[in-house]
Amino acid sequence: MNWILLFIAGLFEVMFAFCLGKAKETIGNEALLWYFGFFVSLLISMALLIKVTESLPIGTSYAVWTGIGAVGTVLIGIFFFREPIEFWRMFFLSTLVLSVVGLKFVSH
């Protein structure tokens, strides 16, 4: 169950990065709504990370959380913010995914 919560926490990390990106593209009340979404996503992500670290090692939890966030944010950038898809970028992104999966398998 803790690994599922950790995955969800990582998804909320991706969500707060997405909201931050959208807030930069807008102005006025729309930007404030995106900043509100950023803040709420940040709180949920952090609360779940705190909960998970009660049972899983902090180093593993944090590495997996940031890994999910990094991979998800790169994909959000590609699909929503028109960031470039380059070979080396995808290569290192795939090594990050393999590292996160590896941490899951070697953690008790």
What are 51-99's pLDDT values in tens digits? Answer: 999 999 999 999 999 999 999 999 999 999 999 999 999 999 999 999 9
- Domain limits, the chain: 2-106
* Residue whose token pair is 């950790």: 6
- Helices 2-25 and 58-80 pack at an angle, to 10 degrees, of 40
Closest CA to 67 of 87, 49, 40, 81: 49
- Asked if the model's pLDDT at residue 39 lies above 80, the reply is yes
Residue 102 in contact with residue 40, Cβ under 8 Å?
A: no
- Asked if the model's pLDDT at residue 107 lies above 90, the reply is no
Closest CA to 89 of 62, 68, 70: 70
- Asked if the model's pLDDT at residue 101 lies above 90, the reply is no
pTM tops 0.95: no
Give 12-35 pLDDT, tens digit per residue.
Answer: 999 999 999 999 999 999 999 999
